[in-house]
Structure 1
């Protein structure tokens, strides 16, 4: 199993290209099931989760071809996927595939909408709380689906097709919004989704669906209106840049010091995180090429933050911010409001010498003067990269184990960091 070795103490200087957003690429790939024609997606990141979803879609008979960067393209341009679901040969998504990645459960929406039936295993994925699928099932039932649970599978049927209806989510859910959006595109009549997730990735998926012939308005706001259409056609769409990757590298620069241009990053996608970094004393400058992040000599100021749905501070940057605040001059407080059990990185950060105390969903981080490298173990995707951030600033050597979590969400992490002066390398046993 691969490990990552880091020797800390090196400032980051240079340019880091930001890849396409994983959290948009996955639902966009699944949306390819909604049409017989070919959906072409550009700027798709090369990630373990993307490869896994390709296998899952292949199980349904979807033909996917991937093209790498062409001559003259910038490095890290991302891959282009041609997704053709002309012949859906199987409407069952088996446990052995779905159990490895939660997002693959979303295939239930396009299969049900287009084929009028689906049998999808209950999901697995990151061990961060229960993350139930009850709101996704509720949304499909509102659209007229008949749903039962049989031997660990969700069995959904809509013999006459789905029917437009009002869907009012009791709490904001990105997964539920994606599922409702995809299912409603082919439903008869109008669907109104209230308390919808406002995340940029939801708006990106809606933009792609509209290119495919869907009639969606209001995506990116709490109310989305979908006028159902009989069928969708092929289209070409470029995946938006990954705001979580951009925020992660911004915090790595803040942690180590230095000056880095985040190429292709879009500030409006992560303004809340940039505001927190500014409060902490980090220099942020938005320019035509993306976002420039710098910290040269100044100490880090402590911050108080609560995670919240977009446009609030993202839960997917909580672990990275906690690693950063370990070096702040004073005490910081971070409250996690989205997922329970998302503080598993705390005990690993303590191995560096971090002083963090937990009280329910709030962590208090008492800043320390220095960290010392240590062997640590990744527990989930975002927690794993917080250990990398700590290792970049720690004295001596850090060994991050179980890095397959990192490969699920960060494209060429060690390559991008080492190009800016980090001492980081992958070790394959």
Structure 2
């Protein structure tokens, strides 16, 4: 029943500090299961997905203590089960990383099929093909994937991924860290959080080489020691605030980032006419007084333009003059949110994987909803550009991946607040 109420029409100005990467955190935290000692994980985003995976580990027996808002101490030595079958597992897509971690530790795993944002088929056939190559059999029972090693221990092997998949790459890395011998994964995903997971595993004593390239080689080890590890900044959160600065014609400095991770995003912002200034760990987007114009975007695996920034840029491009064309090349059905932007009088049409945006017409305030995590961020950006009051519902999607999103936008001068609306009265006022 919580909603965001946004009074738009004001440019964003100021500084915002980016949190740790959600996509790295939800892989690294399950990765602690593989460790033979306690670990401290720093720069963790304070979001619902992280709280959820922490709770799942607790229910499995791990000792999880929050040191402060961005630091967790995790002791996996008390985990006594290879099963994660609580309903909490259904609450997030990344819970399937428990498969690789539990397989790596126990040689068997039983995990409920994951949930998360629903914007297309999320098959795990690639994951299962990889686990089979490592010596496992699987079956699906009562909505759970039950995987067991044929010989009690994983065996290294050569694995070629039919499609570039972040989830498969991460899951096979987790499984192979303690497998016997050498595992070679080809056609790997290269995303920054894949590299971050490899760095985390190596800091514990794993032997993972080639992360960030097409081929990752993992030589199994028997023991992993505890570490203190800091997660990378969130490139998608950074891209969201950068798009919002452009959409509102403001000037925003985004801090605590890795500029190299944002190359595809800054390139498009420059293309439409923004001034971009990069620093060692920050970037400034200046769109004040700019006559921003159209661009075309094709989402691709890293280092291409990230699909997770596509909705935010669509919302931003509605404010830019000319016709922009988006080619969503990663997910089949990521345009569910377009109908919500159309409620705000956005001139957007969808033809298969293409979204055609007739920009330059101001959006109108409306009652809209978040259809998934990144689409929810797009609704905020759209609301910030509309002159009037927009009410956004289904904000639990947004809070899955954005830490203190209201407070951060308020720091930039946005008129946004979170309200409790059990009777749906706000809808009648818009």
Provide TM-score, normalisation by structure 1.
0.96
Q: Is 1:112–2:66 an aligned residue pair?
A: no
Deviations 1:69-118 (A, max 9, x none): xxxxxxxxx51111111022221111512211111111111211111211
SS at match of 1:99: helix
Deviations 1:347-372 (A, max 9, x none): 00011110001111000000133111
Q: Partner residue of 2:135? A: 144
SS at match of 1:409: coil
Deviation of residue 295 (structure 1)? 0.6
The match for 1:79 among 70, 82, 88 is: 70
SS at match of 1:148: strand
Q: Distance in 1 between matches of 2:281 and 2:13?
A: 16
Deviation of residue 191 (structure 1)? 0.4
Over 3 Å counting, the alpha-carbon distance change for 1:412 and 1:10 in structure 2 is same
Q: Partner residue of 1:35? A: 35
Q: Partner residue of 1:5? A: 5
Q: 1:166-245 counterparts in 2 under 5 A?
A: 166-245=158-237
Q: 1:10-409 counterparts in 2 under 5 A?
A: 10-68=10-68, 79-94=70-85, 96-158=87-149, 159-409=151-401
Deviation of residue 36 (structure 1)? 2.5
Higher mean C-alpha displacement, 216-225 vs 82-91: 82-91
Deviation of residue 264 (structure 1)? 1.0
Deviations 1:278-312 (A, max 9, x none): 10111111013411111111111100111000000
SS at match of 2:4: strand
Deviation of residue 274 (structure 1)? 0.8
Q: Distance in 2 between matches of 1:23 and 1:143?
A: 25
Q: Distance in 2 between matches of 1:339 and 1:55?
A: 29
SS at match of 2:170: helix
Q: Partner residue of 2:409? A: 417
Q: Distance in 2 between matches of 1:345 and 1:150?
A: 33
Q: Distance in 1 between matches of 2:363 and 2:119?
A: 26
Greater than 4 Å deviation, 4+ residue runs: none
Higher mean C-alpha displacement, 102-111 vs 19-28: 102-111
Q: Distance in 2 between matches of 1:149 and 1:369?
A: 50
SS at match of 1:216: strand
SS at match of 1:45: coil
Q: Distance in 1 between matches of 2:255 and 2:182?
A: 40
Deviation of residue 151 (structure 1)? 2.1
Equivalent pair of 1:354/1:368 in contact (CA under 8 Å): no
Q: Distance in 2 between matches of 1:369 and 1:227?
A: 56
Deviation of residue 160 (structure 1)? 2.5
Deviation of residue 328 (structure 1)? 1.1
Q: Partner residue of 1:75? A: none
Deviation of residue 174 (structure 1)? 0.4
Structure 1 residue runs without a partner (length 5+)? 69-77
Q: Distance in 2 between matches of 1:388 and 1:110?
A: 36
Deviations 1:134-176 (A, max 9, x none): 1111111111112122222111112421000001000000000
Equivalent pair of 1:190/1:225 in contact (CA under 8 Å): yes
Equivalent pair of 2:248/2:385 in contact (CA under 8 Å): yes
Provide TM-score, normalisation by structure 2.
0.96
Equivalent pair of 1:63/1:83 in contact (CA under 8 Å): yes
Q: Distance in 2 between matches of 1:160 and 1:404?
A: 41
Equivalent pair of 1:118/1:155 in contact (CA under 8 Å): yes
Higher mean C-alpha displacement, 291-300 vs 195-204: 291-300
Equivalent pair of 1:18/1:265 in contact (CA under 8 Å): yes
Deviation of residue 58 (structure 1)? 1.2
Q: Partner residue of 1:73? A: none
Q: Distance in 1 between matches of 2:122 and 2:387?
A: 37
Q: Distance in 1 between matches of 2:120 and 2:258?
A: 30
* RMSD over equivalenced CA pairs, Å: 1.0
SS at match of 2:185: strand
Deviations 1:375-404 (A, max 9, x none): 101110000110100000101100001100
Q: Distance in 2 between matches of 1:232 and 1:204?
A: 17
